[in-house]
Amino acid sequence: MLTNLQINSRRLWDSLMDTAKFGGTDRGGIKRLTLTDEDKQVRDWFKAQCEALGCTVSVDEVGNMFATRPGRNANLPPIAMGSHLDTQPTGGKFDGILGVLAGLEVLRTLHEHEYETNAPIEVVNWTNEEGSRFPPAMLASGVFAGIFPPEYAYAQTDREGTTFLSELERIGYRGSMKSGDHQLSAMFELHIEQGPILEDEKKSIGIVTGVQGMRWYEINITGQDAHTGATPMYLRRNALLGAARIIEAVDAIGQQHQPGVATVGLIENKPNSRNVVPGEVFLTVDLRHPDETALDKMEAELRAALKTILPPLKLTYDEKKIWASAAVNFAPELIACVRSAAAKSGFPMRDMVSGAGHDAAYIARVAPTTMIFVPCEGGLSHNEAESTKPEECAAGAQVLLDAVLAYDQSLAGHT
Ligand SMILES: [Zn+2]
């Protein structure tokens, strides 16, 4: 049975603009770092709005908030919708909060139509997604998914040396519930794309099938400092020349493995002086691909490039893989719900893989999970100018509602 419930796009937009006052900046952005007073204000607001709908708001030991609306069958684990309320220091009005407020709009729509779901419906605010104040990113969804123990989160400090735990307690959001001890039937995260593809192709909904795998490397190339005037070309050991050829090779690896991407983003040249042949270069390589096997190939090609390019230039090198995050495939049954929800409203859509990390990537390890993307102007995010149109936010929230209800109906026969 299909429903014809419609979200209220004006109400969703008003909530997005209302909450922009919590940490609002002069340039129209938001500065709402995790566990600050501004974070407390938006949390208190969110809690009050959910309680006004008769929902119960519970908080776990790392501050994750769960606003629950009961369903017909209390034995079913809740269907969650969620994202994060924290921002970067110069963040925008949509990254994270859109997914939480669209979840709230779903609760409001269900409430005003007195619609009874099979499973409980839950809106989640995951603490410290950004990791900007307390690294690493996605810290508390990581605790929920069992990747980090709560003590690890508690011990993280900001640049002033203040701990996550003391700030969590100070703002009153250290809950009693053990993180991760309640099961979820599913988790849907609506988020802005943070890239330019949907806008470029004039699509309003991204069906996110997974999160690409990511690997980071650090490379030191060693040659020899020498006088630029007195050292003939054939006797040079120019580390920067080696780095230049590696940068070309890394770009070629990305070009050959699309939709994979490969980037040298940071380079330090020593001694960085106009009349010294550079004797040492440090650079970073970032490889990403939705498929782990392809990522293995990209890694092998990177290592082969180092081996073939540098020694003939009389350069030595040292390569370290410093971080890796495996590719995530989202749950096919949830992806199908999102696809049919977008089709129902006639929204132009395309399948895509997330290029950025999200809470959903961790939650996917413990519950069926997927994401829905909406466009953002110019693909801009982590920026005060971040912008998504009211009708684009509304489309995302409508797809969220219909996908959640479709999934809920699939649980009807379960006990
Ligand atoms: Zn985000």
358-379, pLDDT tens digit by residue? 999 999 999 999 999 999 999 9
pLDDT(2) > 70: no
pLDDT at res. 415: 59
For residue 86, report the distance from its CA to the centre of ligand 1, in Å.
8
Strand partners, 370: 188
Q: Look at residue 251 in the predicted model and tell me its pLDDT.
A: 98
Average pLDDT over residues 200-208: 97
Ligand 1 center to 163 CA (angstroms): 22
CB 80 within 8 A of CB 188: yes
Q: Which residues of 131-156 are buried (b: 16+ CB within 10 A; e: fewer)?
A: bbbbeebbbbbbbbbebbebeebbeb
Mean pLDDT value across residues 187-200: 96
Residue 382 has a pLDDT of 86
**pLDDT tier, 323 (very low <50, low <70, confident <90, very high otherwise):** confident
The mean per-residue pLDDT over the stretch 29-56 comes to 98
277/130 Cα distance (integer angstroms): 40
Distance 8 CA to ligand 1 centre (A): 23
User: Is 143:62 a contact under the CB 8 Å cutoff?
Assistant: yes
What is the DSSP-derived secondary structure letter of residue 116? P
pLDDT tens readout for residues 98-156? 999 999 999 999 999 999 999 999 999 999 999 989 988 999 999 999 999 999 999 99
What CATH number does the domain located at 9-211+327-410 have?
A: 3.40.630.10
Reduced to 3 states, what is the DSSP secondary structure of residue 334?
helix
SS3 assignment, position 404: helix
| Å from CA of 246 to ligand 1 middle | 32
Determine contact, residues 381/198, Cβ cutoff 8 Å: no
Ligand 1: centre distance to CA 306 (Å): 35
Query: Ligand 1 centre and the CA of 130: distance in Å?
Result: 7
Give the integer Cα–Cα distance in Å for 97 and 75: 29
Distance 45 CA to ligand 1 centre (A): 19
Ligand 1 mean position, distance from CA 118 (Å): 29
Fold of the domain built from segment(s) 213-325:
Alpha-Beta Plaits (3.30.70)
Token representation of residue 246: 């590696």
Place of tokens 């040492």: 280
Share of the chain above pLDDT 90, in %: 93
State residue 324's pLDDT score.
Answer: 86
Mean confidence (pLDDT) of the chain = 96
| Sheet containing strand 213-222, strands side by side | 261-270, 280-289, 213-222, 316-325
pTM of the model: 0.87
Classify burial at 293, counting beta carbons within 10 Å of its beta carbon; exposed 0-12, middle 13-18, buried 19 or more. exposed
How is the chain split into domains, by residue range? 9-211+327-410, 213-325
